[in-house]
Structure 1
């Protein structure tokens, strides 16, 4: 039997995989109407964790591999139908390995229907030395829907030899169903910039976009204050075109950042759904 090279092998050109998830509201709760998940993606059964909002479906998206590798091109397609309530998160942080001049690309296409609630809240990526990761997200959100979208990263050098990651970049495009652009956000940072103090002594960074009608948004000051109590340094402001709120978060490490993102999810969930949500155990 011939052995195949591991995903991290120099002989591997990277993986191309897609995951498609469609959530509908039926019978008083949200359920997965369709799922197609290719390796390395993996999902378990859905969970209904909130007594006050029993229709809210929480799904953990897992990785069946050891993280993201050079040449990986992964795409996640999420569709949340009218009046559904869906929360997609990860089971843990995802390690990003050396990019080997080809890097890794994670794409997301999200559609949120009228009256729906959708939260895509991944744990921070962990950038190993040489990691080169690009996140590219496009979301279409109905006028009265809610989208909570969070992504970020933490830096980790296992040998503590001062070796930086290569690059992290993110692009987010938020549109209305008629194609009108609400928000376009782009950012990038190189590892040597962080090593040279571009973010002070902080080693973890995240962005949050919260698209919602005004009556389903949290108070800006409360939003930031609760995240800061987790040990983070955050700043929130209104999003362009009256779309909602945006937040940037800095943290000294990945664990602190993960706690700040979790707190932000609960603040946003309380404002959007009118109830305190249960803790998502991992």
Structure 2
């Protein structure tokens, strides 16, 4: 997700809590409730797909320059029974020097029965000294669909050989009764990146939780990312609950294109129709 910031000094860090609630009414999905703070900006909802006119697409935009040291950002998202919703970002999010405090971004998602929810973020661009921790929790009903995608790319704008400090990510997905379906956690430092990823400077994950008959072929999901110049691997998620895709790329642009292509394959499998391109 994009990083909402408050209008205070970046040196102090920002504590922001946002909430979005989507419901199905009158034949389409709509944003029923929103609570966001400056400079997070929510434009009007878009209905981009002729084959799924009920599907609401929303861009989270921010006027800030990215994530800064001490930022603590939270978003609670609820998608009600039968609704269809795609939340995405306007562009990549720059993560600045963490200055020993780093930034934390929290996401909590609840997807009710029969609903479709996709949360796809453009890569986080880790500048030298950046320290970012992602913490995501999701509850998804048995017959609902949840697609989540995020990742990072490394950038040294002054080419001084400096790297980010640390990137970490934790994802937990549960059923409404509390049963744990997936727990995925990872942590890597800038020093360890070259040894772990070799020539690659970006990595991302996509998870798709859906009933078995609404999953795309594993090979098709993987090849969609590969055709964009990335290196991808897909496999079944634990507990026969869906699919997990891991992607490596040489740069942020390649990573973005690969994840966009994979998302469209995942969405077509889950919804049964091809979605329109999300222009940015």
Match of 1:203 in 2: 201
Match of 1:236 in 2: 234
Q: Does structure 1 residue 117 correspond to structure 2 residue 119?
A: no
Match of 2:30 in 1: 31
Q: Is the 8 A contact 2:8 2:14 kept in 1?
A: no
In the TM superposition, what are the counterparts of 1:266-277 in structure 2 within 5 Å? Answer: 266-277=264-275
- Structure 1, unaligned runs of 5 or more: none
Tell me the CA shift for residue 147 of structure 1.
0.4
User: CA separation in 2, counterparts of 1:177 and 1:8?
Assistant: 38
User: CA separation in 2, counterparts of 1:69 and 1:114?
Assistant: 37
Q: Is the 8 A contact 1:7 1:69 kept in 2?
A: no
Match of 2:252 in 1: 254
Match of 1:215 in 2: 213
Q: Does structure 1 residue 75 correspond to structure 2 residue 77?
A: no
Match of 1:66 in 2: 65
Q: Is the 8 A contact 1:106 1:134 kept in 2?
A: yes
User: CA separation in 1, counterparts of 2:278 and 2:176?
Assistant: 31
Report the TM-score when normalising by structure 1.
0.95
In the TM superposition, what are the counterparts of 1:1-282 in structure 2 within 5 Å? Answer: 7-9=9-11, 12=12, 14-194=13-193, 196-282=194-280
User: CA separation in 1, counterparts of 2:142 and 2:41?
Assistant: 31
User: CA separation in 2, counterparts of 1:46 and 1:7?
Assistant: 31
* CA deviation string 1:186-225 (max 9, x = no partner): 001100111x432011000001111110011000011101
User: CA separation in 1, counterparts of 2:50 and 2:35?
Assistant: 29
User: CA separation in 2, counterparts of 1:236 and 1:7?
Assistant: 42
User: CA separation in 2, counterparts of 1:254 and 1:122?
Assistant: 12
Runs (4+) off by over 6 Å: none
Tell me the CA shift for residue 6 of structure 1.
6.3
Aligned residue pairs, count: 274
- Structure 2, unaligned runs of 5 or more: 1-6
Tell me the CA shift for residue 40 of structure 1.
3.6
User: CA separation in 1, counterparts of 2:197 and 2:164?
Assistant: 14
User: CA separation in 2, counterparts of 1:90 and 1:182?
Assistant: 26
User: CA separation in 2, counterparts of 1:167 and 1:150?
Assistant: 19
